[in-house]
Chain A
Amino acid sequence: MADGNIGLWTVPLAVFGGAIRISTPFLFVSLGECITERSGRINLGLEGTLVMGAMSAYGISYLSDSPWLGVLAAGITGALFGALHAGICSLPRVNDIAVGIALMLFGTGLAFYLGKPLIEPTAARLPAIDFGWWSDVPQVRSALRINVLFLIGVVLAPILFWAFKTTRWGLLIRTAGESADAARAMGYSVNIIRLRATMCGGFLAGVGGSFLSLFYPGSWNEGLSSGQGVTAVALVIFARWDPMLCLWASLAFGGAAALGPALQSVGVTSGYHLFNAAPYILTLVIMIITCSPKRTLTGAPAELSITR
């Protein structure tokens, strides 16, 4: 055992480690989108926000040598993109799905443009905590090297769950999502509630992007995100707009995405790309199973354009 040859145990172990590593961006983007969608608006542009977050985190971490400043910069960039989305969507007769697609294109374009000089240099990375110190098997150790951002996300999910349920802000966001008229009747501006919710969502998506460039895979390049932002938006739908379910769903996605590389490491190479598509196929299958033409989804905010 000690020589690192653990046979077929490599696969579940790599899937476990991969689930934790790969799920982190899914987790942050989906928690953010959960806040946004609960307020009654969908932001499909989080793919662009994720890539912008990854780029700005890498840039700031490179310039300042502090990865945490990079994470903060990614969050702020994300919040600005959220504000842009919310601002345009608050104009009359503007379709929030189309604005999302536009910001997806704009965000990726801007990130590639500004990030061109960042492909070469190496920036300071985010630290990881070594939970595998007790084992001398290298695979176990690497599977249990867990990044701090993942832990923050894990803590954030129950906090959000609690906040939606019991706090004043949580109630306001849900009211704006269930009935804009009710929120207006209470004397609140629906647009301002949604602006703040979309900015929070963008902040978290930006932070999710910083994980990509600062921890795993851990460098900036143009192929960094392959639709994680989009998948996370779909993930929120089958997590039923519930932050705790977002956590479990993100872990399942991470595990599914880790399956291909894990099988490849033990010599199963056929179908590698199909395994890569696993999260997308999974999302689609679960949407097919859980959707119905006759009723709206249980738990869906009534004001959300995609469920009406």
Chain B
Amino acid sequence: MTVEKMALSKALNAALRASLESDPKTLVMGEDVGKLGGVFRITDGLQKDFGEERVVDTPLAESGIVGTAIGLALRGYRPVVEIQFDGFVFPAYDQIVTQLAKMHARALGTIKLPVVIRIPFGGGIGAVEHHSESPEALFTHVAGLKCVTPANPSDAYWMLRQAIECDDPVIFFEPKARYWDKGEVDREGIPDGLHSAKVVRQGSDLTLLAYGPTVRTALLAATAAEEEGRSVEVVDLRSLSPIDFDTVQRSVEKTRRLVVVHEAPVFQGVGAEVAARITERCFYHLEAPVLRVGGFHTPYPAARLEDEYLPGLDRVLDGVDRALAY
């Protein structure tokens, strides 16, 4: 049996294991990834099976982790780096933006930087400061990086494997609130393209576009809206750079309305880019402006307020109502 039901976290673990097995140059690096198996246990058991040379516990220095991963990539390795939490990536931001993203171009294509940076991102787990952020727009803005995020275990498995095989640096955002969601993974199946968006629920009145942790929210909202007689299509963006606008466009040309949902602040976020592009592509199809539902222009709030901040079911449904009211 090749199809198994597993949690998203286990699917990531299985993907790392498969990549370590298939290519001796693949390395896993990060804080606590060895004996502990990572704070979310994504790397559980890998050091035991592949050794300390392949699954590398690092000093607590994010710039150092990414900077040395660059050096290892230059030596022919394929490092998969774990940043422990979203808010901890910033000490490494300089290395990612000024070095990792640009080195291939600076060398006129003569060298490749196959580095994957895994970042558990997003909120909803009641964590303390710097443990719940959605910094994806800060990375999608940078040429030279690719950014993806799975929303279900199957995509978690395949997208991570594809990211590791990619010769470009990939920022791999893991929806930490969905680590424990279960789903079917076909490890011998044929994956979707790493940078394709996917219609995950058909509908005809409106398109909800989401990625990572908000895909489940969007699906729940579509179910709720159905009870009110509204047919909502849900598109999982999956790839944030590049973005598969063709799939989004096809959906919007069908439904004529688009609401983008993400946890990150809407101001200058991924949703803003989608709104601009889709308006340009679908101007004569749209019955309503593209709306966004997401985080506010505030620091991510203390845990007791995160339900107010996060785009939950009611706020998404409010967005649906507003779009349909035009």
Binding partners A and B: no
By a beta-carbon cutoff of 8 Å, the part of chain A in contact with chain B is: none
By a beta-carbon cutoff of 8 Å, the part of chain B in contact with chain A is: none
